[in-house]
Structures are given as structure tokens and as C-alpha cells.
């Protein structure tokens, strides 16, 4: 009888250890996946910042906004607003054109 109890306890302990190993493996996989997602978000933020810098003072975006003023999308509005920057004040062509479109 003692032998059966010891065997039963052994099976329970072995089973619990296997469950713990699976949980640890799942935690590691989750941590790895979260790290990958965080890297993607950080890269996306860098790319977005680069795009914002690139579109500053962009007359082509202002022109697109002027052409689609009646059916303008949210993305185009955001792009148009991101073209405004302190560094554009010396660009007379951009300043005049963007002000005309902004006030129309």
C-alpha cells in the first residue's frame, strides 16, 4: 500500500513538473513575441518620424490637398498639417501656397 502511495505521489510530482516546464516555455515564447512586437513598434516610430521630417515644407502635399479639398481624407489632412514647420518660414513659395490652401 505504501508503495502505491509513493508511486501515486511520484506521478503527481512528475506531472506537476511537466506542467511547470510548459508554463515556463509559454512565458518565454510570450516574452520573445512581446520583444519582437516592441521592436516593430520602435522601428515604425522611427520610420514615421523620418516620414514627418521628409514631408515638412512639401509643396506636393499641399498641391494634393488643394486638388482633393472637397473629398479630403484624414491621412491627407494629417500629412498637410505635418508640412508646417518653423524651418519653412524662409520658403516663400511654400508659405504662400500653404496659407492659400489652409485658408480656403
> Domain check: are 61 and 83 in the same one?
yes
> Domain check: are 93 and 75 in the same one?
yes
Where does the pLDDT of residue 11 fall: very low under 50, low under 70, confident under 90, or very high at 90 and above? low
> Domain check: are 60 and 46 in the same one?
no
Is 86 a residue whose pLDDT tops 60?
Answer: yes
| Residue numbers of the domain that contains 26 | 1-50
pLDDT digits (tens, 9 = 90+) for 16-74: 556 666 666 666 776 777 667 666 655 555 546 656 667 788 888 889 889 988 888 88
Is 79 a residue whose pLDDT tops 70?
Answer: yes
> Domain check: are 1 and 33 in the same one?
yes
> Domain check: are 29 and 43 in the same one?
yes
CB-CB contact of 69 with 103 (8 Å): no
End-to-end CA distance of the chain: 92
Polymer length of the chain: 104
> Domain check: are 79 and 97 in the same one?
yes
pLDDT value at position 73? 86
46 DSSP assignment: H
What total of structural domains would you count in the chain?
Answer: 2
pLDDT value at position 89? 84
- The model carries a pTM of 0.50
Amino acid at each position: 500500500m505504501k508503495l502505491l502511495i509513493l508511486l501515486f505521489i511520484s506521478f503527481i510530482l512528475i506531472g506537476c513538473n511537466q506542467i511547470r516546464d510548459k508554463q515556463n516555455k509559454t512565458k518565454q515564447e510570450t516574452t520573445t513575441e512581446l520583444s519582437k512586437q516592441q521592436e516593430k513598434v520602435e522601428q515604425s516610430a522611427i520610420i514615421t518620424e523620418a516620414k514627418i521630417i521628409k514631408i515638412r515644407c512639401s509643396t506636393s502635399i499641399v498641391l494634393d490637398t488643394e486638388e482633393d479639398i472637397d473629398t479630403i481624407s484624414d491621412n491627407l489632412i494629417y500629412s498637410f498639417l505635418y508640412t508646417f514647420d518653423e524651418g519653412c518660414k524662409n520658403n516663400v513659395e511654400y508659405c504662400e501656397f500653404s496659407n492659400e490652401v489652409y485658408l480656403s
